[in-house]
Structure 1
């Protein structure tokens, strides 16, 4: 089981602003600011981190769990409003699974961010 994810970014302020907006529909908030910035749904459970540094190549793909398809739509929309680039509008992706509903956005560093509901 994954405990947390940390991404390196050459522009910590821009990435922090992006994820602050993109993750708000999921209940995530920025709880720690410093050498690394930590996000989570609860202050005591930070599972997404940004730190200064060169973005890795190739860029990782990662997905945020969404309890409903409406939350996928809202998160995708929020990520675009926060400055992300559309990389696949939310839709049912039956090539993956009959219930796999997901949308994709590229963050300011080019990471492929997915919002997914599998019910």
Structure 2
């Protein structure tokens, strides 16, 4: 559905300190990083699209938008938790701790945060958790 999503930043080095650990938790591979431009892109292993990109906008200025949010899909609730912790540990700010959001659907488990530039992000898991097996 998407070719790419681009998030504007003004401080590329600070953005990379935030996004590298977050993308590691989400198991997205760094496809390229060009500090001289500056921009970087991540993708899922084995596919060329979609890309998630961060960088200085072509116009040179960036302002975080109201009502704009990029949401990443997580395979498990534990990944949501880990992504939220990584975001906060690397300069992000909370917009909603990990938890169920039944107003969306019964199994929506998400966390909301902002990157150091104020861009709003979400990590969400939509799957039903597996029951614990008896040991």
**TM-score, length-scaled by structure 2:** 0.80
TM-score, structure 1 length as denominator?
Answer: 0.89
Which of 43-52 and 68-77 deviates more? 43-52
Q: Partners of 2:46 and 2:32 in 1: how far apart?
A: 8
Is residue 20–residue 29 contact of structure 1 (8 Å, CA) maintained in 2? Answer: no
Distance 2:64 2:120 in 1: 12
Cα deviation 1:57-97 (Å, max 9, x = unaligned): 52520100001111111111111112111110000001111
The aligned length equals 119
Q: Which runs of 5+ in 1 are unaligned?
A: none
1:44: Cα distance to partner?
A: 5.6
Instruction: Tell me if the contact between 1:31 and 1:43 (Cα under 8 Å) persists in the aligned partners.
Output: no
Q: Which of 41, 51, 54 matches 1:50? A: 54
Runs of 4+ in 1 over 4 A off after TM superposition: none
The match for 1:38 among 41, 45, 65 is 41
Distance 2:91 2:30 in 1: 17
Q: What CA distance in whole angstroms lies between the structure 2 residues aligned with 1:66 and 1:57?
A: 24
Unaligned runs of 5+ in 2: 128-135
